[in-house]
């Protein structure tokens, strides 16, 4: 008997879970259900558009989608088009792989002002995510502040200071390239509450900042400690030493031949967003770092800026039938198990940490439990799910449909660019319906 499995979310963790089930030889049907008509989650909508080499991991997911057991149902939002409880009544096992799509938020005084954005929306905007393409961020001042000391902050900073020429090999939509390139931005500030040794940048991404065509990194050498403080694992110690060496090299660079600057400010805790209806600046408190924690010193300083982007983490939104951990913001689980027959993988399981490959072991873990514990054939799975979608009038997008979209995007790209993305769901569905009627005629 065949086990019927629904995986909700077609990002890396959803694909890894599907592949783990296939690799274990579990006799199953796997339905990957995705809210967007396009697969791949943050690989398409989060990973920086100038890091195409990273996006190539989708080739592996394409192979998974081609496995005979696997079906893709794009343009189906769980919670709107079908509930978790309905899915659990249709499938022997349901695996949640929905990531953490929302900004954690800053909770600063003045956070409501125009010109304040979260990384999820800002990154979604420059990546052509249909939910954020209309963000139209305020980029009218030459100074932008980014809050956060992780790679997402670096991605955003880098993309705001690259030249138009540097952007010609990306798949950033034209509206975002034009908006950034036509803005007066010359100085981007990246603020971290702790010191340079505590920053979470990976060294490869950090070094890239020193190689930009028309932007110089600015670091105050007095901010740099002679060595990494004690208390890190050996691996972390090495990583941080590399970052400190990179910051030292940055502090010795001559910025005078570049027209833009990316400033790293450490030991700076944001307190208040200044201005009237729109952002005019950011007030910060100096900190000292004790045992890895930032403590306020009562000394303040202001930085003038017209835009503030908070890259301080992600969280999940509420979804009926899914227990959330109020503190960590992830799905309550025990080794990937939420309840009998109900599982979670990826960021939704562990929180918003780790690189793409960190999501793979989650799939292996859940596949093992399913292989050992789930009794097949109790629930009908795919036919009932399709009946449900049809009865609701939902136009789902198959993987073959996605291939049409993919091909059209690649064909529409300007020379040198990898693709020109569709940025609205309506556009994608209209295009697919036209292709379908062309095939029939």
Ligand X SMILES: Cc1cc2nc3c(=O)[nH]c(=O)nc-3n(C[C@H](O)[C@H](O)[C@H](O)COP(=O)(O)OP(=O)(O)OC[C@H]3O[C@@H](n4cnc5c(N)ncnc54)[C@H](O)[C@@H]3O)c2cc1C
Listed residue (361, 316, 370, 325) closest to 343, CA to CA: 370
Q: How near is the Cβ of 96 to ligand X at its closest, in Å?
A: 9
Nearer to ligand X by C-beta: 10 or 224? 10
Tell me how crowded residue 62 is: count the other CB atoms within 10 A of its CB. 15
CB-based contacts of 426: which residues, under 8 Å, 6+ apart? none
Q: How near is the Cβ of 1 to ligand X at its closest, in Å?
A: 27
Nearer to ligand X by C-beta: 153 or 262? 153
Backbone dihedral angles phi then psi of residue 117, each to the nearest 5 degrees: -135, 155
> What does the angle CA 12 – CA 86 – CA 436 come to, to the nearest 5 degrees?
65
- Residue closest to ligand X when measured from CB atoms: 11
Listed residue (172, 174, 115, 113) closest to 139, CA to CA: 115
Distance CA 180, CA 161 (A): 8
Crossing angle (nearest 10°) for helices 399-412 and 425-440 = 100
Q: What is the sign, positive or negative, of the torsion defined by CA atoms of 33, 39, 43, 48? A: negative
Nearer to ligand X by C-beta: 109 or 204? 204
Nearer to ligand X by C-beta: 61 or 250? 61
Q: How near is the Cβ of 375 to ligand X at its closest, in Å?
A: 26
Q: How near is the Cβ of 146 to ligand X at its closest, in Å?
A: 12
Q: How near is the Cβ of 150 to ligand X at its closest, in Å?
A: 9
Residues of the shown chain interacting with ligand X in the complex, contacts defined by CB under 6 A: 8-14, 33-36, 41-42, 46-47, 51, 54, 77-79, 97-99, 101, 123, 152, 155, 346-348, 354-356, 359
Q: How near is the Cβ of 152 to ligand X at its closest, in Å?
A: 4
Distance CA 392, CA 110 (A): 43
Q: How near is the Cβ of 228 to ligand X at its closest, in Å?
A: 24
Q: Are 345 and 319 in contact (CB under 8 A)?
A: no
Nearer to ligand X by C-beta: 41 or 195? 41
Token pair 């072991």 in the structure block, residue: 361
CB-based contacts of 213: which residues, under 8 Å, 6+ apart? 162, 163, 165, 166
Q: Rounded to 10 degrees, what is the CA torsion of 66, 69, 74, 76?
A: -170
Q: Are 345 and 96 in contact (CB under 8 A)?
A: yes
> How buried is residue 273: exposed, middle or buried, by Cβ count under 10 Å (0-12/13-18/19+)?
buried
Q: How near is the Cβ of 245 to ligand X at its closest, in Å?
A: 22
Nearer to ligand X by C-beta: 281 or 313? 313
Nearer to ligand X by C-beta: 150 or 196? 150
Nearer to ligand X by C-beta: 8 or 197? 8
Nearer to ligand X by C-beta: 275 or 363? 363
Tell me how crowded residue 329 is: count the other CB atoms within 10 A of its CB. 19
């Amino acid at each position: 008997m065949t086990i019927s499995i629904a995986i909700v979310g077609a990002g890396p963790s959803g694909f890894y879970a599907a592949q783990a089930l296939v690799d274990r030889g579990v006799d199953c049907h796997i339905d990957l259900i995705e809210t967007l008509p396009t697969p791949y989650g943050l690989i398409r909508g989060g990973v920086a558009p100038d890091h195409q080499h990273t996006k190539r991991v989708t080739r592996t997911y394409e192979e998974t989608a081609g496995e005979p057991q696997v079906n893709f149902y794009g343009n189906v939002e769980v919670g709107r088009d079908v509930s978790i409880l309905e899915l659990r009544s249709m499938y022997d096992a349901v695996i949640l792989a929905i990531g953490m799509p929302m900004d954690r938020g800053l909770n600063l005084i003045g956070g409501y002002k125009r010109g304040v954005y979260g990384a999820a929306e800002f990154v979604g905007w420059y990546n052509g995510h249909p939910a954020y393409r209309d963000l139209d961020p305020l980029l009218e001042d030459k100074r932008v502040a980014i809050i956060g000391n992780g790679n997402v902050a670096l991605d955003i900073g880098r993309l705001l200071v690259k030249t138009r020429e540097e952007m010609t090999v990306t798949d950033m939509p034209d509206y975002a390239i034009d908006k950034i390139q036509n803005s007066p931005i010359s100085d981007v500030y990246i603020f971290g509450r702790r010191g340079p040794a505590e920053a979470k940048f990976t060294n490869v991404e950090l070094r890239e900042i020193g190689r930009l065509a028309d932007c110089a990194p600015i670091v105050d050498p007095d901010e740099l400690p002679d060595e990494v403080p004690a208390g890190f694992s050996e691996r972390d110690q090495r990583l941080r030493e590399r970052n400190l060496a990179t910051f030292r090299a940055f502090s010795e660079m001559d910025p005078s031949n570049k027209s833009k600057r990316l400033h790293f400010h450490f030991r700076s805790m944001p307190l208040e967003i200044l201005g009237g209806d729109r952002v005019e600046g950011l007030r910060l408190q100096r900190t000292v770092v004790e045992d890895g924690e930032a403590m306020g010193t009562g000394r303040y300083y202001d930085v003038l800026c017209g835009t503030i982007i908070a890259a301080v983490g992600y969280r999940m939104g509420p979804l009926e039938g899914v227990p959330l951990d109020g503190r960590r913001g992830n799905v309550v689980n025990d080794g990937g198990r939420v309840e009998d027959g109900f599982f979670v993988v990826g960021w939704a399981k562990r929180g918003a940490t780790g690189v793409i490959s960190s999501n793979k072991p989650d799939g292996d873990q859940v596949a093992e439990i399913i292989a050992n514990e789930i009794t097949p054939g109790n629930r009908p799975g795919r036919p009932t799910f399709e009946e449900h979608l049809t009865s609701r009038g939902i136009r789902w997008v198959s993987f073959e449909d996605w291939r049409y979209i993919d091909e059209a995007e690649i064909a529409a790209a300007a020379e040198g660019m990898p693709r020109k993305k569709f940025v609205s769901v309506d556009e994608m569905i209209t295009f697919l319906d036209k292709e379908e009627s062309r095939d029939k005629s």
